[in-house]
């Protein structure tokens, strides 16, 4: 066990060293690239050592990582369901108000029809034919015929309006019942997800108590990554709600066309793992490059919502490192992460064109080598989706 602890301490110490290495003192881009390559070589050198220790370490940390991803997934699903529930509830309110208007309209139309029938009764006219036969001459006959035609047309139009209003009320009531059933189903699903979430949290807490101090330190880093991912997703949800309030409501499933690849000169062939998610909790795909220096471009025109670096208190990079979020105003947002230190060329609030360079591929944050983490977020779903269908 002592040997194992020494292995664990050594590996985690090395990982901390990698995480805290700063390249801010580089004097040129070539220096940055050289330092990145040196880090990559050091990482490769320790890969075998990490692999040896992995099999000897307790399975608790692995299980916790899986539970963290599961917890994150449940939270995302619950957020999405609650967002959908809010939309349906608003629709129900609007339908109920509209039904009230339609019912009031129906009452007014009925009242008009009753007055019309009373007027006909009080006039003593038994039929339109009696009116025609009472004509004194041809001119009077034609005049009465024209008047009767208009009256008959108005009567028919009023009856049709009453029938249409009645049918519309029935349709809206059926839609209202359907929406209420959806609300009930969503609430049940949310409750089940919350129970599953609570169980996962309980299981995780129990496992955390079994970790060594070294494992707890590593677990804290992993959990911080999950918190950062959740914060970014919450920000995207906030932007989606803002878009909705501004009336910019896109289709629940935006068009898959019109996007370009996020790294200049590369294609889907540079994405090794094309399954989604490639591992639990992964909310995008990794464009694997192996070297820094490739330009990262906006896949579509839009507005830069975030352009920042995630750092630990000591200044070292964490989680996504340097990243950018772009709102395309078509129901989608895109995420570009692990960019080269200091390479971001756009600021928050800036409008960008499709193909515009926004940064350079790097390996900042929790990254094992130069690559671009690329994600697609769907506003209506309030969640990340498989980005591959959006890439040419």
Q: What is the pLDDT of residues 75-118, one digit of tens each?
A: 777 777 777 777 777 777 777 787 787 778 777 777 776 676 66
Tokens standing for residue 303: 């507005």
Q: What pLDDT is recorded for position 267?
A: 92
Q: What is the pLDDT of residue 25?
A: 36
Residues 78 and 188 sit within 8 Å (Cβ to Cβ): no
- Cα–Cα distance list, 183 to 91, 170, 189 (Å): 11, 20, 10
Q: What pLDDT, on a 0 to 100 scale, did the predictor assign at position 347? A: 96
- Neighbouring residues of 270: CB distance < 8 A, sequence distance ≥ 6: 263, 287, 288, 289
In the chain, alpha helices (H): 2-20, 29-56, 60-122, 128-133, 138-208, 213-245
Which residue is associated with the tokens 């494992």? 215
State residue 197's pLDDT score. 79
Between 46 and 247, the higher pLDDT residue: 247
pLDDT at 31 exceeding the cut of 60? no
Question: Alpha-carbon distance 285 to 387, whole Å?
Answer: 7
Query: pLDDT at position 170, please?
Result: 80
Rounded mean pLDDT, 121-150: 56
All residues at 6 or more sequence positions from 188 whose CB lies less than 8 Å from its CB, including other chains: none
- Residue 156's pLDDT is what? 66
pLDDT of residue 81: 76
**pLDDT (0 to 100) of residue 76:** 73
- Mean of the per-residue pLDDT values of the chain: 75
Q: What's the mean pLDDT in 121-127? A: 54
Give the whole-angstrom CA distance, residue 380 versus residue 87.
Answer: 10
Mean pLDDT of 369-376: 94
Tokens 């330190």 belong to residue: 217
Report pLDDT for 9.
45
Q: Locate 132 and state its tokens.
A: 């025609």
Name the residue among 58, 66, 54, 59 with its Cα closest to residue 12. 54
pLDDT of residue 4: 43
The model's pLDDT over 141-186, given as tens digits with 9 standing for 90+, comes to 565 555 555 555 666 676 677 777 777 778 777 777 777 787 777 7
Between CA 300 and CA 257 the distance in angstroms is 10
How confident is residue 1, by pLDDT bands cut at 50, 70 and 90? Answer: very low
Number of residues written out for the chain: 392
Residue 318 reports pLDDT greater than 70: yes
Q: For residue range 193-235, list pLDDT tens digits in order.
A: 888 878 888 887 888 787 777 777 777 777 788 788 888 888 8
Give alpha helix (H) positions in 123-137.
128-133
Place of tokens 């608003």: 90
Q: In 3D, which of 323, 330, 285 has the Cα closest to residue 303?
A: 330
Does the pLDDT at position 15 exceed 50?
Answer: no
At residue 58, the 3 state secondary structure works out as: coil
Two tokens, residue 49: 């050592």
- Quick count: other Cβ atoms within 10 Å of Cβ 282? 17
Among residues 327, 268, 329, 330, which one has the least CA distance to residue 298?
327
pTM for this one? 0.53
Of residues 145 and 331, more confidently modeled: 331
The torsion region of residue 163 among left (phi > 0), alpha (psi -120 to 50) and beta comes to alpha
What pLDDT score does 387 carry? 94
Above 90 in pLDDT, residue 351? yes
């Amino acid at each position: 066990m002592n040997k194992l602890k020494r292995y664990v301490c050594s590996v985690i110490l090395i990982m901390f060293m990698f995480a805290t290495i700063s390249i801010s003192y580089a004097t040129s881009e070539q220096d940055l690239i050289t330092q990145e390559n040196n880090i990559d070589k050091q990482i490769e050198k320790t890969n075998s050592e990490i692999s040896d220790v992995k099999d000897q370490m307790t399975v608790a940390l692995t299980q916790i990582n899986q539970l963290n991803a599961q917890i994150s997934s449940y939270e995302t699903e619950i957020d999405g369901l609650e967002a959908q529930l809010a939309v349906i509830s608003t629709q129900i309110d609007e339908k109920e108000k509209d039904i009230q208007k339609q019912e009031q309209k129906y009452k007014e139309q009925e009242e008009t029809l009753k007055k019309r029938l009373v007027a006909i009764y009080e006039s003593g006219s038994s039929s339109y034919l009696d009116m025609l036969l009472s004509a004194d001459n041809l001119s009077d006959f034609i005049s009465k015929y024209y008047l009767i035609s208009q009256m008959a047309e108005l009567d028919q139009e009023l009856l049709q309006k009453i029938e249409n209003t009645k049918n519309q009320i029935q349709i809206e009531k059926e839609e209202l019942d359907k929406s209420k059933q959806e609300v009930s189903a969503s609430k049940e699903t949310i409750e089940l997800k919350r129970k599953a979430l609570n169980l996962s949290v309980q299981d995780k807490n129990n496992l955390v108590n079994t970790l060594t101090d070294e494992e707890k330190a590593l677990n804290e880093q992993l959990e911080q990554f999950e918190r950062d991912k959740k914060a970014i997703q919450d920000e995207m949800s906030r932007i989606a709600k803002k878009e909705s309030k501004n009336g910019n409501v896109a289709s629940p499933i935006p068009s898959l066309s019109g996007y370009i690849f996020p790294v200049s000169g590369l294609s889907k062939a540079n994405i090794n793992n094309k399954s989604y998610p490639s591992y639990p909790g992964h909310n995008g795909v990794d464009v694997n490059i192996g070297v820094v220096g490739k330009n990262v471009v906006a896949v579509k025109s839009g507005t830069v919502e975030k352009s920042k670096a995630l750092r630990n208190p000591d200044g070292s990079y964490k989680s996504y490192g340097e990243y950018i979020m772009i709102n395309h105003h078509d129901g989608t947002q895109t995420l570009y992460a692990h960019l080269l230190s200091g390479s971001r060329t756009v600021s928050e609030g800036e409008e960008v064109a499709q193909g515009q360079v926004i940064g350079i591929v790097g390996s900042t944050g929790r990254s094992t080598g130069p690559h671009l983490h690329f994600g697609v977020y769907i506003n209506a779903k309030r969640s990340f989706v498989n980005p591959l269908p959006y890439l040419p």
